[in-house]
Structure 1
Amino acid sequence: MAEEQAGDAVPAAQKGSWTAFIKSIASFSGDLSSLTAPPFILSPVSLTEFPAYWCERPALFSDIANARNAEDRSRRVLRWFISTLKGQYTSRNESMGSEKKPLNPVLGELFYGIWPDADGRGETTLVVEQVSHHPPITAYYIENASKKLSLRGHSAQKTTFSSGSIIVKQIGHALLTVGLPDGGKEEFLITLPRLRIDGLWYGSPYIELAETSYIQSSSGWLSTIEYKGRGYFSGKSHTFKAVLASSSGRSHTYEGQWDTVSKDVRTGEVFTDVTSAKEEVTVRALEEQGDWESRKLWKDVSRGIREGDFEAASTAKSKIENEQRQRRRDEAAEGTTWKLKHFVHEDSDPTYERLGKLFKANPPTEDMYVFLCNAPKFDGSA
């Protein structure tokens, strides 16, 4: 993939800058997220928009509520999860020719969206808030009240350079809660895969998922998802193998490519197919958004990137970053701290610990961001 698209990410006038950037990455020993990337490798989209990828196929998300039993529910959760990966990790290659670095959100940045249900009876809503800047942490809450489904989580990244690739350890987790017909609930702990960004030396970065992630249900069913790139299970990029198993030993295996099609190994039936068009999240018009909402906050930066005016993008980006630095200095001088709008931080997550013990999660505990249920979901003021 990288060889075939060599140089696609780097304009001819920027090749020297790209080479210097790669050399700086290779010689840097800390977390790469602190480095400033050249504007031409930036995505015009802030990282706060990324939780929308969880529901770009909202029918699969809402379909979890139609499960017949715990086994069927875990199968539908796995199918939905696998179907979210393409948007999260390969959509920029398709739309921009290579992987791009998302804009690093500022503390307090917000993103709101909805997906109306196909039957017109409800909708799935999304609330995202940048809850930390150093390190960058994004918290999100997704809900379909009519289907009794909710997803809350947070994500951060620790980025290093190794053997010519950027290695991204995703920190955080998601917790899916499903309301059951009998009034009870089932919970699913979702851990996040590691990323490997290859193709750097060719100027055409792309993402491969690596290692293993898990989906542990409170019913006992566990999905173990192993990711490999070209040359492993199928000799193709973006391959995975998932085993859905119960504590009694009953299991199902699914494998294929998470960016196209996968199948049930036993029956040969299609398990996931993400080759059709996704459903974009609906957001308010730019003029109706608050100043802290992502698309309004970054509009001048995004315009510069999309139009190839990297000088204008860099100037607008520096203005936002300098304002943030000044805000932090003012808070330090006043002895105050930034107050989160939609989330409250907790040092530990009891549900993570309870479900994590079932598959020996590493780390054994994590913190969490609790969504304030009474928070206005589409109030963009700060």
Structure 2
Amino acid sequence: MADITSNRSTLREFLASIATIQGDLSNITAPPFVLAEHSTVELPQYWADHPSWFVAPALASTAEQRALLVLKWFLGSLKNQQYAGRKEEDGVKKPLNAFLGELFFGKWVDEETGETRLVAEQVSHHPPVTACYLWNEKCGIRAEGFTQQEITFSGSVNIKQKGYAILHIDRYEEDYLIPVPNVKVKGILSGAPYPELSGKYSIISSTGFVSDVIFEGKGFIMGGTKNGFQARVFNIETPSEDIYTAKGSWNSMFSIDDPRTGEPIETCDIKTKSSIPITVTDILEQDPWESRKAWRCSTSDAKSVVEEGQRHMRKLEKERGVEWKPLFFRRQEGDALFEKLSEVDKGGFTVGRAGGIWKVDQDAIKDAQKPYHEDLAPTGQISDLTNDEVSTRKPNGVHEGREGKIEELLRNKWVEAGIPSPSLSTQLSVQCSDASIS
């Protein structure tokens, strides 16, 4: 009971402090008890934790069926995206702020549809931008996207998302422009926070089919329901004629109907539909830049180690006059396909000028090899020690019998690069009791 009272007091103090801040709160550090276990770079996994829904459009025979199945996939992905995979009764927590260069890889394997894979990378930190690429070679479907989040507080937490995704179906050479809805996190002061979507968004196909989705939400429209929405699929040539309609709650149950026949098509129960957890590499085999390895000791102390290391790296890059280069995504000045498709709904998509437009580099993914950033860890350390070797380090952080190799690495990476070399103890300090953060 004392912990609950203390947490509520701390939360009130935190909310009071951010309420006075004007502008983006994305990189504000929240109290530990409101932080989730994983970082924002893991959130793209929830686009495909129903992998059969993700690949379904590629298996449909008509353009209007494919448009409907893209809408169904989009709606079915929202609950776990907004709750970050948590149970609804457990509420929402703030994901950890991803560090620049943070990586997340995973896959889902199905006997019929094959392997669906994901690559996500934090491509910018100020402002924070996460980019992702999701694909299934067997079914010939792929999606790439990015989002820049801006967070403000006005009684509720307001998350404005700047970005979009493009879904491509190889067999039909079709593209779909996918929105990233804005979010309000309500119920914070009552201790039962929940996400609510609001506004109108469009999923736009290169075949001329459009899905308009209106998120109602309790309190936005008279008679609206919590997490409610209405949607319609139509052809841009006959915008007043509904081909399909859908309505219900994106976190519970929704129905799909054919207004031309008056017949129901399907009822989707999100609460009972099982998500398929993503499969990731064992943590001992992960690279230091992979999210779950970097945050495996996500205590306040370990969190500060990563943050301090990142600040140090940005300082050194500034001194050298270089910029961080993401591994798997490239920033572009424009996107012709986005410009063409978004003409249908100019007000439904926002791209942050500072965050930029990000496109996947498929060759970089195919050619990727560990270590992803040579021997440099996200803490700014030299990460030449294996997990087994970490346990035999001396108390001062130097592995017995390997001082020469460590000094050589430091010399190569810092001295020859013209960077002032930090002390050996600073770079090789033990971050966790069971393993190094690097």
Give your verdict on TM over 0.5.
Answer: yes
- Give the aligned partner of residue 318 of structure 1: 304
Distance apart, 1:323 and its partner CA: 0.4
Cα distance, 1:14 vs structure 2 = 1.9
Residues 125, 143 of structure 1: 8 Å contact kept: yes
State the distance in 2 between where 1:364 and 1:317 align: 31
Aligned counterpart in structure 2 of residue 292 of structure 1, from 289, 292, 298:
289
Ranges of 4+ aligned residues in structure 1 off by more than 4 Å: 231-235, 361-367, 377-380
The corresponding residue for 2:165 is 174
Q: Which amino acid aligns with 2:315?
A: R
CA distance in 2, matches of 1:176, 1:297: 30
Of 272, 282, 286, which aligns to 2:268? 272
Q: How big is the shift at 1:90?
A: 2.9
- 2:106·2:279 contact (CA, 8 Å) conserved in 1? yes
8 Å contact kept, 1:90–1:207? yes
Contact persistence 1:170–1:192 (CA under 8 A): yes
Q: In structure 1, which of residues 316, 322, 340 is the aligned counterpart of residue 326 of structure 2?
A: 340
C-alpha contact 1:177 1:185 (8 A) present in aligned 2: yes
Check whether the contact 2:46–2:84 (CA below 8 A) recurs between aligned residues: no
Change (3 A) 1:339 1:90: closer
Which residue number corresponds to residue 262 of structure 1?
Answer: 254
How many Å apart are 1:264 and its aligned residue? 2.3
CA distance in 2, matches of 1:210, 1:37: 25
Conservation of the 8 A alpha-carbon contact between 1:212 and 1:227: yes
Counterpart CA distance in 2 for 1:96 and 1:256 is 19
In the alignment, which of 92, 116, 124 is matched to residue 132 of structure 1? Answer: 124
Q: Compute the displacement of 1:13 (Å).
A: 2.6
CA distance 1:245–1:239, shift in 2 (3 Å)? same
Deviations 1:44-93 (A, max 9, x none): 01111100000000001111111121101000000011000010113555
| Unmatched tracts of structure 1, length 5 or more | 1-6, 302-312
Q: For 1:60, what is the secondary structure of its paired residue?
A: helix
2-structure distance, mates of 1:260, 1:363: 26
Which one of the candidate residues 20, 26, 49 is aligned to 2:13? 20
How much has 1:156 moved relative to structure 2?
1.2
Q: 1:287–1:96: structure 2 CA closer, same or farther, 3 Å change rule?
A: farther
What pairs with 1:140-219 in structure 2 (closer than 5 Å)? 140-162=132-154, 164-180=155-171, 184-219=172-207
Partner of 1:230: 218
Per-residue CA distance 1:300-350 (angstroms, 9 max, x = gap) = 00xxxxxxxxxxx11111111000000000111111111211111101111
TM-score, normalised to structure 2, is 0.78
| Alpha-carbon distance, 1:358 to partner | 2.2
Is the 8 Å Cα contact of residues 67 and 73 (structure 1) preserved in structure 2?
Answer: yes
Contact 1:241–1:256 at 8 Å: present in 2 too?
yes
In 2, are the aligned partners of 1:225 and 1:242 still within 8 Å (CA)?
yes
The answer to whether structure 1 residue 83 and structure 2 residue 80 are counterparts is no
Per-residue deviation at 1:206? 1.2
Deviation at residue 239 of structure 1 after TM alignment: 0.7
The 1:323–1:365 alpha-carbon spacing in structure 2 relative to 1, beyond 3 Å, is closer
Alignment partner, residue 35 of structure 1: 28
Q: How much is the aligned-residue C-alpha RMSD, in angstroms? A: 2.0
* Map 1:246-261 → 2, pairs under 5 A: 246-249=235-238, 250-251=241-242, 252-261=244-253
Cα pair 1:90 1:259 within 8 Å, conserved: no
Deviation at residue 271 of structure 1 after TM alignment:
4.2
TM-score (norm 1): 0.89
Q: Is the Cα contact below 8 Å between 1:177 and 1:188 reproduced in 2?
A: yes
**What amino acid is the match of 2:160?**
K
Q: In structure 2, what residue type is equivalent to 1:214? A: S
Identity fraction in percent: 36
The 10-residue stretch of structure 1 (320-329 or 363-372) with the greater mean CA deviation from structure 2: 363-372
Structure 1 counterpart of 2:345: 359
2:394 counterpart residue number? none
Which structure is larger by alpha-carbon Rg, 1 or 2?
2
Q: Whole-Å Cα distance in 1 between the matches of residues 349 and 73 of structure 2?
A: 25
Find the counterpart in structure 1 of residue 42 from structure 2: 49
Q: Tell me how far 1:202 sits from its aligned partner.
A: 1.2
Q: 2:101: which partner in 1?
A: 108
